[in-house]
Structure 1
Amino acid sequence: MRRFLPAALAITALAAASLVAVDTLTPEAVDGPEAQLTAGSELMAAPGDLVWSDEFNGAAGSAPDPSKWTHETGAHGWGNQELQNYTTSRGNSALDGNGNLVITAKRESNGSYTSARMVTKDKFERAYGRFEARIQIPRGQGIWPAFWMLGDNFPETQWPHSGEIDIMENIGREPHRVHGSIHGPGYSGGGGITGHYQHPQGWSFADDFHTFAVDWSPNKITWFVDDVAYQTFTPANVGGNKWVYDHPFFMILNVAVGGEWPGYPDGSTQFPQQMRVDYVRVYDNGAGSGGNNGGGGSGASGRITGINGMCLDVAGAVNANGTPLQIAHCNNNQAQNWTMATDGTIRAYGRCMDVTGGRTADSTPVQLWDCAGVPAQKWERTSAGQLRNPNSGKCLDAQGGSGADGTRLVIWPCHSGANQKWNVPA
């Protein structure tokens, strides 16, 4: 179950150990044999509002959307004695022109292996909601596909204290089985808390697309395959250790080749092997934004202040659709009174802070508009004090880094500058 991290980030690999078995045949079960599907398993609830997605629509051979994904690269074993070198090559990760991302694990002419590992770190990070992907996994001894998450405080907080949620893992020698796990302090590596789902007909998961998801709330994580729940973990499962699933996480897609858990390719393993991803989607599960501050807004109202102590302001105090937003000297008028709504919107005059036209391009202006429940109006407060729009993966930004009165607000790739730091009503 281990999804260890880059050796370059100084994460120490743990020795292999036996799996901790947990029975989760009902949503709240905590003890018993390792979980698998039974006739009594529950169906997935309605997902709530869509807050982020990648549908992987694009021309064949085009790169994954760089506003949503970053490639992690290297050939240092990744703490698991893996064999592959992760690259940025289109030969290892590209769109296929049919609405899929394809991650390809290859054996190169010199006998080495290459693949891809893609993360949403610093582009989309979220606590709570449904995290879902529709995937056709690869096959073969020593092949290790995964859809998983790590805490946004990594690497400042080292693994496993940062937390890990494995939504789906498969090892090639078990074509009919997928695994779901959590890793945290005192329960990591081979000692992670884990269960598995076995295909009801015993067929290989590589034969077709399947939907893999978790529903994550503050004190419960439930795993689903094809909309059927097969296990739930709560703080009661971690044996008195810390439950570290109380802050935003980022998502990861990768295909590893070899490792201590899956073993290594042999003469039966054919290359290349491909993982096809139809979509990745994140929903709020009807619980508000569930954003990078660990949930929707507090409902509190007041000033939002930023660079140079300036206030977030409705330009000219004009209560109308399309009015630009800016920073301005603080006064006490209604144009600077903002509500951090529990649905993840930020409101003034009863209207919402809105990314113009729902666009995702750098420097798209931010305006006031009638609230419509759309992704362009959802905002998440990050642990670094930014306000991120998950639809674009970009942050609210005082344009050009300026702290001057009247500076307009736009979306821009998130960074640590003062012009993206905001103090909000608590």
Structure 2
Amino acid sequence: MFLVAAALAAAVLFTTTGPAADRADAAAVRTWADEFDGAAGSAPDSSKWTLETGGGGNGNNELQYYTKSTDNAALDGRGNLVITARKNTDSGLRCWYGACQYTSARLNTAQTFTQAYGRFEARIKIPRGQGVWPAFWMLGDDLGSAGWPNSGEIDIMENVGKEPGAVHGTIHGPGYSGGGGIGAAYTLPGGKAFADDFHTFAVDWSPEAITWSVDGQNYQTRTPADVNGKKWVYDHPFFLILNLAVGGDWPGSPDASTSFPQTMTVDYVRVSASDSSGSTGGGTGGTGGGASRTGAIRGIGGMCVDVAGASDADETPIQLHDCNGVDAQKWTLGSDGTVRALGKCLDVKGGSTADGAAVQLYRCNGTKAQQWVYTSARDLTNVGADKCLDARGNSAADGTRLQIWTCAGTANQKWTVG
């Protein structure tokens, strides 16, 4: 079983905003974000999030009572939102099964932000343990009128604690909901656990397809053909949800091995627009550079942008190399403004803005040193420095290192993607 929506108390009327300033040359247009900057112990921003309450089980026989308390959802003062599941000490809280055993939090943007299409991304460190169930997901903005599952559900990330190395991405709609949802799992290599570190979970959603990724690695794509003649309901705005459930039909209940409190730590949530995106509420709406595109990046002399030694280690230099089609030369220009290969991001070393600053591969962290704009003039410009990707010394030699430099329109700063 997958997450099932609790009914909203009332339908919300959403009005589409007009287009933002023309950014057709940009790789992405940010329409909404929460970086969770604020004082330690403060509540989530109420202009962005609504905290749900109740212990009705959410259609899944979950065991937690969702509260508005900062004991269950608060900023940590280090740029994170922490959602905490605790053993309940309030005898007055009643759940569907009697006295509530646990408290936790669930946040949504139903009344503040919705969007159709684009990139929806969060960087999260999940909890661990049998019976814990963290999720980052979306529901259709017509939930109040159409009901679930007719409104649609996109689960960007779900984890059940008994599977520490796996997360699930799923769609639910009419005729393919609950246990019949359509999706796939992504498993970390080498027996690693998601609870050991932060990971970036995202979907890139267009009218034709939804693609899921973990740390920049795409692992499934769903299209209208996948619903086998049933209705494809991913054609209207959705809102965002973050929650940490305890127990339920899918994960099962906590056992003696599960310690509490458990925390789901969210570094950021970001939404970017694609060509077809329509956002309401906190976003600006508008026209961006389109959905993600993947392929070789060719520069001066027809040479390819390449990760030296095909290494995915942080700080690996980026260079020119003869084009050979290997993964070290397959780059994704994401709708979020990143340029990714081997699961990591193209990065200006040290966040430098100086001419000659080296470009490297580094774990994706959302900084401006990893934000790029690919223009119609074929410049690849770093947002943080406002400078162009540049082949040193105007050279096309194999092994030429790449850097940033003041944009000059020269051949060593021109790039072709795909």
The question of a shared fold, defined as TM-score above 0.5 by the shorter chain, is answered with: yes
Q: Distance in 2 between matches of 1:290 and 1:108?
A: 41
Name the % identity: 66
Query: Equivalent of 2:267, from 260, 263, 278?
Result: 278
Query: Equivalent of 1:104, from 84, 106, 112?
Result: 84
CA contact (8 A) 1:118 1:254 kept: yes
CA contact (8 A) 1:167 1:214 kept: yes
Equivalent residue letter for 2:204: D
Give unpaired runs (5+ residues) of structure 2.
11-25, 92-99, 288-418
Residue 2 of structure 1 corresponds to which residue in structure 2? 2
Q: Distance in 2 between matches of 1:146 and 1:180?
A: 10
Residue 291 of structure 1 corresponds to which residue in structure 2? 279
CA contact (8 A) 1:47 1:130 kept: no
Residue 53 of structure 1 corresponds to which residue in structure 2? 33
Q: How far apart are residue 122 of structure 1 and its match?
A: 1.6
Q: Does 1:266 align with 2:252?
A: no
Q: Does 1:163 align with 2:152?
A: yes
Q: Distance in 2 between matches of 1:260 and 1:289?
A: 35
Equivalent residue letter for 1:70: T
CA contact (8 A) 1:105 1:113 kept: yes
Residues 223-247 of structure 1, C-alpha deviations (whole Å, 9 max, x = no match): 0000110000000000100000000
Q: Distance in 2 between matches of 1:297 and 1:80?
A: 37
Q: Secondary structure at the match of 1:139?
A: coil
CA contact (8 A) 1:55 1:280 kept: yes
Q: Distance in 2 between matches of 1:210 and 1:47?
A: 22
Residue 51 of structure 2 corresponds to which residue in structure 1? 71
Q: How far apart are residue 85 of structure 1 and its match?
A: 0.2
Q: Secondary structure at the match of 1:271?
A: coil
Give unpaired runs (5+ residues) of structure 1.
11-45, 299-426
Q: Does 1:152 align with 2:148?
A: no
| CA RMSD between the two structures | 2.1
Q: How far apart are residue 156 of structure 1 and its match?
A: 1.2
Q: Distance in 2 between matches of 1:225 and 1:165?
A: 15
Q: Secondary structure at the match of 2:116?
A: coil
Equivalent residue letter for 1:103: I
Q: Distance in 1 between matches of 2:7 and 2:48?
A: 24
Query: Equivalent of 2:239, from 240, 250, 261?
Result: 250
Q: Distance in 2 between matches of 1:222 and 1:8?
A: 28
Residue 118 of structure 1 corresponds to which residue in structure 2? 107
Equivalent residue letter for 2:55: A
Q: How far apart are residue 51 of structure 1 and its match?
A: 1.0
Say if 1:231 and 1:103 are closer, same or farther in 2 by CA, change over 3 A: same
Q: Distance in 2 between matches of 1:277 and 1:122?
A: 21
Alignment of 1:300-379 (within 5 A): none
Equivalent residue letter for 2:201: F
Say if 1:198 and 1:47 are closer, same or farther in 2 by CA, change over 3 A: farther
Higher strand share: 2
Q: How far apart are residue 74 of structure 1 and its match?
A: 0.2
Q: How far apart are residue 194 of structure 1 and its match?
A: 1.2
Q: Distance in 1 between matches of 2:72 and 2:279?
A: 31
Q: Distance in 1 between matches of 2:280 and 2:69?
A: 31
Q: How far apart are residue 47 of structure 1 and its match?
A: 5.6
Residues 263-320 of structure 1, C-alpha deviations (whole Å, 9 max, x = no match): 00000010000000000000114x2653259x9679xxxxxxxxxxxxxxxxxxxxxx
Say if 1:297 and 1:172 are closer, same or farther in 2 by CA, change over 3 A: closer
Q: Secondary structure at the match of 1:222?
A: strand
TM-score scaled to structure 2, two decimals?
0.60
CA contact (8 A) 1:127 1:292 kept: no
CA contact (8 A) 2:57 2:63 kept: yes
CA contact (8 A) 1:128 1:218 kept: yes
Query: Equivalent of 1:87, from 67, 74, 95?
Result: 67
Say if 1:53 and 1:7 are closer, same or farther in 2 by CA, change over 3 A: closer
Equivalent residue letter for 2:51: H
CA contact (8 A) 1:51 1:289 kept: no
Aligned residues: 261
Residue 347 of structure 1 corresponds to which residue in structure 2? none
Say if 1:169 and 1:279 are closer, same or farther in 2 by CA, change over 3 A: same
Q: Distance in 2 between matches of 1:145 and 1:47?
A: 30
Q: How far apart are residue 5 of structure 1 and its match?
A: 1.9
Q: Distance in 1 between matches of 2:196 and 2:160?
A: 15
Q: Distance in 2 between matches of 1:291 and 1:67?
A: 16
Residues 97-144 of structure 1, C-alpha deviations (whole Å, 9 max, x = no match): 000000000012367100000000020000000000000000100000
Q: Secondary structure at the match of 2:279?
A: coil
CA contact (8 A) 2:206 2:276 kept: no
TM-score scaled to structure 1, two decimals?
0.59
